[in-house]
Amino acid sequence: MCGICGILRLDGAAADTRVLAEMNAAIVHRGPDSEGSMADGPAALAMRRLSIIDLAGGDQPIANEDGSVQVVQNGEIYNYRELRRELECRGHVFRTNSDTEVLVHLYEDRGPRFVEELRGMFGLAVWDSRRRRLVLARDPFGIKPLYYRQTERELSFASELKALVRNPAASRDVDLDALEAFLAFNWIPAPMTIFREARKLGAGHVLVAEDGRVTLERYSRPGARPGEPTRSGSEAEAAAELLETLRDSVRAHLVADVPVGVLLSGGVDSATLAALAAEESSERIKTFSIGFEEREFSELDLARRVAERYGTDHHELVVRPDAVELLPELADTFDEPFADSSALPTYLVSKLAAEHVKVAFSGEGGDELFGGYRTYAADLLARRVGPVAGALAPLLDRLPTSPNRRLEDRLKRFARSASLPPLERHHGWTEVFSADARGELLGGRPRGADPLAVWRARYAESEGADPLARFQDVDLGVSMVDDQLAKSDRASMAHSLEIRVPLLDRAVSELAFSLAPSHKVRGLAKKRILRRAAATVVPEEILRGRKRGFSIPAAAWLRGELQPFAREVLSPERVAREGFFEPAAVSRLLDVHVSGREDLSRQLWGLLTFSLWYERYGARVPTAA
């Protein structure tokens, strides 16, 4: 695990190694154990290393036998031993036991498409000095990040945005399309970033720069495939196959020369990983859990049951609303506005885990692959009752506030969204600011592009597949990458902790998308096949439990201990000075939430995050706007 960065001068001039050193210093937290760099005319690569495999010999960059090909990698290659044996049979000579060295030799054999052979998570760069070619690639699921900035003269890249903007020439103009997307989602989908000049390399994409030209191609696309037949066989047979597939993935992900732990919530995903890791590991597994004083949001009791059942070395932390200190830290960690509030507990549980291990498993991917979100049940229900629910929406909006605020909000959202077209409906379940609300916030400024454009492109690719599988595919290819995985990577690497996600393995994904929809969601029952597969290894109360994840009591906090902080950060004077949003619109949102008339915690969390990010990065509205 590392942080990587580099520069390629497209005009043939020598790369500026002083700028490269500044970029590398910005990501020291991703790799505090060692650093390395190389410069070869127009190209310069650098990295920071967190030692996981081949602790003594795995420093990077790593070269082939004659030094003509060099590589830096952020991530892990789980099938590197098998690949190494094949490469040695073809005459390649290895100097280390590192998984990274496999990359240079595999590139020699296969060229830029070598990444198709890899089982793992990675963001990597290969410099081929003979062809004067730079290859950048990101793993198929987008587990590891990679950003790049391209101008007429230069291409630069890094594991985090903070490294790219260390270049004095980098503009900090805000991308208004990205801002519009942030207001819709509370995160920014690839390829956009908050900066106009910087882009995210998409999951499963390879970028090749050669002879002054840059090309971008997708080499892998996990997810729904139109026309693919559903596998036959009983549900019991599918569950048994799934359990063995998960066990194989866990076994592969346990490969490390340091101890491995598990981030353990009270949900079925992490509980299954903890159980299988405890069974497959030769050492006692360490587990780490987060809880809250508000018991409705706390899963410590359930997580403790799993830890006790498997005798793990268990560690717990109770989170309190000290966001006055933590939110500015998160703004620095994520580099661009990112307002998934579960980033806060993820950040804290990663800090807890990093005190004991360098590597930990996390359960990302389970909801997308096996139908864990309540939105999937809502989608299926809306197909039957959409028109009726839509007609009831105005009536529900006029009803007085009930004691069960969360249930009421969900019913109103369902009624407003149920009769919309499929993709708009799916987005409607989780939309943060509606189009009208975005317009009010932006105060008449020219609007950005349609935030759903990335979703529409992905959705179109699965036309002909089962409707539920299409929604899962959008979530897997867009939301998971730039929300769930971005959160996990940045929150963990801020503490020099490597997160591994065994559910996001090619074999697991292929099995999941070959299952009948009813194996995943039926009525209000979600993750049916995963729960059945886990029944032999996970306590019954976890299999029956409702999903909480790492959600936080943000609504109560913003009406209580955090209200003064929110009023300071979102004051009309400060909002006006920043110049992005209408101060009166922001103040109205805060007043309505504090009054208890509506739960606007997600909207306010997003605005708080944006303001704190702006304070850190000093970005600006483009003059052309």
User: Which residues belong to the active site?
Assistant: 2
Closest CA to 177 of 192, 191, 198: 192
- Please state, in angstroms and as integers, the Cα–Cα distance from residue 50 to each residue in 4, 37, 223, following that order: 11, 15, 31
User: Is residue 431 classed as helix, strand or coil in its secondary structure?
Assistant: coil
Residue 31: both structure tokens together: 């790799």
CA distance 561 to 28: 34
In the chain, what is the greatest distance between 2 CA atoms, to the nearest angstrom? 76
Region class of 277: left (phi > 0), else alpha (psi between -120 and 50), else beta = alpha
What DSSP letter does each residue of 466-519 carry, written as one string? -HHHHHHHHIIIIIIIIIIIHHHHHHHHTTT-EEE-TTS-HHHHHHHHTS-HHH
Instruction: Report angle CA 46, 50, 55 to the nearest 5 degrees.
Output: 105
Give burial (CB, 10 Å; 0-12/13-18/19+) of 480: buried
Cβ neighbours, 10 Å, residue 465: 18
Q: DSSP secondary-structure letter at 228?
A: P
Give burial (CB, 10 Å; 0-12/13-18/19+) of 117: middle
Q: Which residue, chain included where needed, has tokens 């985090």?
A: 160
Residue 488: both structure tokens together: 């996990």
> Strands 260-263 and 69-77: what pairing?
unpaired
Q: DSSP secondary-structure letter at 174?
A: B
Q: Which residue, chain included where needed, has tokens 């491995």?
A: 260
Q: Which residue, chain included where needed, has tokens 């990065």?
A: 617
> Contact, 310 vs 283, CB < 8 A?
no
User: Is residue 39 classed as helix, strand or coil in its secondary structure?
Assistant: strand
> Contact, 71 vs 125, CB < 8 A?
yes
> Contact, 581 vs 608, CB < 8 A?
no
Q: At what angle do helices 300-310 and 268-280 cross, to 10 degrees?
A: 20
The CA-based dihedral angle spanning residues 269, 243, 309, 311, taken in that order and rounded to the nearest 10 degrees = -90
- Please state, in angstroms and as integers, the Cα–Cα distance from residue 401 to each residue in 397, 406, 408, following that order: 9, 11, 8
CA distance 579 to 575: 6
Residue at 87: amino acid letter:
L
